[in-house]
Structure 1
C-alpha cells in the first residue's frame, strides 16, 4: 500500500503552504507549475507565470537572475541570489536542480527559494546551534581529558596547588612566566577545576592575530560594518566563550586601542560589536598570561594602569624550567611517551643523555624540551646532538641559540667539530632517518618537517639523497 492515498492532494498542499517559492519548468524553461509563495513574493498571479518562459521573466526584471536558466544551461544544480522586481530590499536565495529521464535527457527543472529575511533567520539559528555544538563537544573533551601537567619541583607544585584553590573563586586571573613555561596548561588546569568546567575554554594568542583584525576577532561585528565584512556579521570570541573561560595569552601585546575595551568588559561584563549600537551582557571568566613585565610597561606608558590592576587580582607565576630541574626528566619521559604513541615507536632515553638534560639551562623552557624529545623520537633515538632542527636564525637570534641544546650536548660529551660539519652531519642523519621511516614519501616528510616539498627536494639533492632509493 502506498504511504499516501492521494498523492495529488499532498502535492497541492505543498504548493499552497510552502512559505517560499516553488517553480517547475520544462527543459526549455517554460513554467509548468507555480506555488502560492511565488505569487506572494512577486505580487503576481499564477496565470502570470504558467506558460511563460523563465528567460522572459529575467528579461522583464521580475527576477534579476534566474536559477532556472542557469540550471537549464549547465544541466547541474545551481544556487543564486537575486532581487525581486528590481527591489534592492527584496532579495531571495534560489536553488534549482535538473530532473532527467531514464536515458539521461533533461526533462524538467525545479527551483526552490526563500526570502532574505527567512535565510538570515535560518543562518542565525544555525550559528547559535553551531556554538552550542562547539560548547557541547568541548564539554565532552574536558570531561574525558584531565589536563596533563608535571609538578615535582616544590615551587611548581606550590603554583598548581594554589591554582587549584583559586579555580573555585570565580574571578579573573593572570599568569606570569617566560615563553614556553606552560602558561596555557596552567590556564586549562584552572578552567578544569572551576565551576565552569562543563563550559567552553577558548584560547587566544594576542601576539598572533594582526592588530587590524584583533577587534573583530575578539568582539565580533554587525552585518555591513565595513567593506569585506561577512554579510550576516560575525560572532566574536567573547560571545563564543560565554559562560566559559577566555584565555588571553600574551596580553602584553594587546594594542592601546583595545585595552580600554577589555577594561570595560572587566568592569561591566559588557561588550559592543564593531558597528553595533547596543551592548551585550556576557558571563566570561578571563585568564590572561604574559611573559612581559606589565608593571614596567605601565611605567613606560604602553599598558594601562587601571587594566593592570583589574587583571592583577589573582596573579600566578610559573618558574622557568632552569629553576625546576626536578621536573626535567619527568617532563622528558612524558613527551617521550606522547610521541612514541603518536608515531608508533618505542624509543627510550639513553642513560648517557640524562645528566645533560638536567644540566642544560633550557632558555626555551618546556617548549624547547618538547621539541628536542620530538625530534629524538622521530629519528628513532639517534643521538640528541644529531637531531638538530635546521632553521635560519633571525637577526635577533644567532645560530648558537637556535641549536642551543645540541651545542651544549656536543660540548658536554666532548664532541668537537666545525659548525658547518656539524650542520651537514645533522641534516644527513635527520633526512636519512625520515626517508627510511616514511619510505621516501615526500608528502609525509613535508608534514613532519614543516618544509615545502620543493625545498626538501633541493635539500636532498644537495645531500646526495634520492627519495626513490627508499620507496620500496
Structure 2
C-alpha cells in the first residue's frame, strides 16, 4: 500500500490554503492559493505576507496578536478578490503562526455589481415612468394587465384595484372604460390611436403600440395616454378670446368708419378697408401724411377723407395739383406775394395756398413735380410753420395740416437727386399706399354700381350691367384704375340702347379678355376620366404630402391644417402616404 500524502489532497482542491509563521512569512501555499494571489507558487514560500497582499497581512497579524480567528474576511489581491477564513496555529498554548483558507469570489463580485446596477437602473426607470405626466398602460399579448403608472390612474380616474391583474376584455365588458386601444392593437396588429373620454370627464389621446417577438407574435401592448382636457379647455378659451377680440376689432372698425360717407367712399376689399382705417387714424393727428399709388387709384378721395374725419373738417381743404402750376409761378402761388412784388402783380397783393389753408388742410397732389429750388423753401415752411410772401419781409405764422400725394417713387428720386431727402423724410411721417384696382377686384362691382347710379340719376335712366359684362370687367387689370373704370362705364352707358349693358358695349380690349383656362381637374371631369370623389382624394393627397414635407410632424401638420392630430394620422394612413413622421 502506497504512503498516504496529505499534500496531494491540499493541491487537488480549488480552495486556496496558505500558512505563515508568527512573523508573517509564508511557510506553505498550495496551487490554488498561488493562482488566486496572482503569483507563482515557488515565489510565495519565504515571502512576507504583506508583500503579497496588504489585506491578508493585516488579517494574519491580527490573529497572531489576538489569537482569535477571523471569518469571511474580504481581501483584494493582484489576482482578484478572495474571501478568507483565517485561524491561529497554537503550539503549547502559544500562537506560532496562522493558516488561511480562501476562495476567489471575483466573478461573484462582478455579478453582484451588475445586479446592483440593474437594480439601480430599474429603480430609476420606475421613478421616470411614475413621474411621467403621460399615462402608461402595459398588457401582455393576451390583454392581461401587467402595469400602469400613476399618471394613468390620475387621467382615467380609476384605482389600481380596478385594473391590476385584470384582462382588458373584462375591464371593457364591465364598463370600467368604454373602449380599449389595446384590444384594437391586438386585432389590427399595428399601432392604433384613439380619442378616449373617461367617466371622470377627462379626455385623452391614447396610442397603443404592439411589441413583437422573433416569431411575429405580439407579446406586449404598450399604450401611451396623453391628457388633453386642459388643452381642449385652453383651446376653447383661446377661441373665445379670439372671438371676443374679433368682435372688439369689428366694433373699433365700425367706430373708425362711422364718419365715412359710404356714398362717396366706396370699397369692399380688405386692402382698401385697411387704407380707410389708416386714413381715419391719421385724421386724429396733425402729422404729415404721404399718399402713394398709381394714377387714378383714389388718392384725392383719401386726402379729403382724412380732412373730413379730423378735427379740421370745418376748416378749408385746399387741393393743389403741383404738376399743373408753371414752375415760374409756383413760389407766388404757394406763398403769395406783396403789392408790387413783380411786374403785373396785383396792387393788393395775394395770399398763397398756404395762407388759404390756414387752420385747415393743404393737399399737395403730385408733389414729386415740385422743382428742387422750391423744395428748399417748402421744407422751411413745413418745419417752421410760417411763410414769407414774395416781395415781403415779415414771416406769417400759419397752422396748416399737410397731406401730400404722388404716383412716383420719391425714394428713387432722392437717390437720383431729383427730390430732396430731407423734404421726403419730413413728408413721410405717416405713409399710406393706395393699392391699384387690379389688386382689389372686389371693389370693381361697388365702384361700378356707384358710377352707374350717378349716370342713371343724371340722365333719368335705369340701365343695368349684365352678369357676363361684370365678369369681364372684374378680370380686366385696369391700368388706369378707378378713373379708367369710370370712363369705361360711362362709355358703355352711352352705347347701350336698351336697359342692359352687355359685353358688346365694352371696349374691344376688354371684350377680348379670355376667361381663365380650365384646371386639370375640370379637364379630367369633362372627359369623364375621374369623378368628384377621385378628384377630391387627389387634391387631399397633394395637400397632405406638401404640408408633410414642410412641417415634419403630424402635430405641426394639424396646426397648419386646423384639424385634430388624430385626423391627420388617419388620413395619412388611409391614403397610404408612407414615411409619415411619428407624432
8 Å contact from structure 1 (residues 181, 321) kept in 2: yes
Q: CA deviation at 1:146?
A: 7.3
Note the C-alpha offset of 1:144.
12
Deviation at 1:205, TM superposition (A): 0.6
Partner of residue 293, structure 2: 177
1:377 aligns with 2:493: yes
1:217 is aligned, of 308, 315, 333, to 333
Give the distance between the partners of 2:502 and 2:509, measured in 1 at CA: 10
1:400-424 deviations in Å (ceiling 9; x for gaps): xxxxx531314549xxxxxxxxxxx
The answer to whether structure 1 residue 349 and structure 2 residue 465 are counterparts is: yes
Residue equivalent to 2:447:
331
The 5 A counterparts of 1:15-30 are: none
Aligned twin of 2:509? 407
Query: How far is 1:172 from its partner?
Result: 1.0
CA contact (8 A) 2:340 2:347 kept: yes
Of 359, 362, 369 in structure 2, the residue corresponding to residue 246 of structure 1 is: 362
Q: Is the 8 A contact 2:359 2:399 kept in 1?
A: yes
Is 2:384 the partner of 1:271? no
Give the total of aligned pairs: 255
Partner SS state of residue 301, structure 1: coil
Stretches of structure 2 that go unaligned for 5 or more consecutive residues are 1-258, 516-583
Bigger Rg over Cα:
2
Cα distance in 1 between the residues matched to 2:302 and 2:371: 25
Write out aligned runs for 1:294-373 (5 A): 294-373=410-489
- TM-score scaled by structure 2? 0.42
Is residue 2:260 matched to residue 1:158? no
Secondary structure in structure 2 of the residue aligned to 1:289: strand
Instruction: Give the secondary-structure state (helix, strand or coil) at the position aligned to 2:372.
Output: coil
1:280 paired to 2:382: no
Give the alignment's Cα RMSD to 1 decimal.
2.1
Q: Give 1:29-40 correspondences, 5 Å limit.
A: none
> Offset at 1:339?
1.6
For 1:107-122, what aligned pairs fall within 5 Å after superposition? none
Corresponding residue for 2:153? none
1:185 Cα shift?
0.4
CA contact (8 A) 1:147 1:188 kept: no
State the Cα distance separating 1:349 from its structure 2 match. Answer: 1.0
Residues of 2 paired with 1:240 and 1:285: CA distance?
12
Unaligned segments of structure 1, at least 5 residues: 1-142, 389-404, 414-472
Greater strand proportion: 2
**Distance change in 2, residues 1:386/1:237 (3 Å):** farther
Q: 1:258 maps to what in 2? A: 374
Q: Is the 8 Å Cα contact of residues 260 and 305 (structure 2) preserved in structure 1?
A: no
Query: How far off its partner does 1:231 sit?
Result: 2.0
Higher RCO (C-alpha under 8 Å, 6+ residues apart): 1
Q: 1:386 Cα shift?
A: 6.4
Task: Provide TM-score, normalisation by structure 1.
Answer: 0.52
Q: Contact 1:159/1:316 (CA < 8 Å) preserved in 2?
A: yes
Residue 266 of structure 1 deviates from its aligned partner by 1.2
| 2:373 match: secondary structure | coil
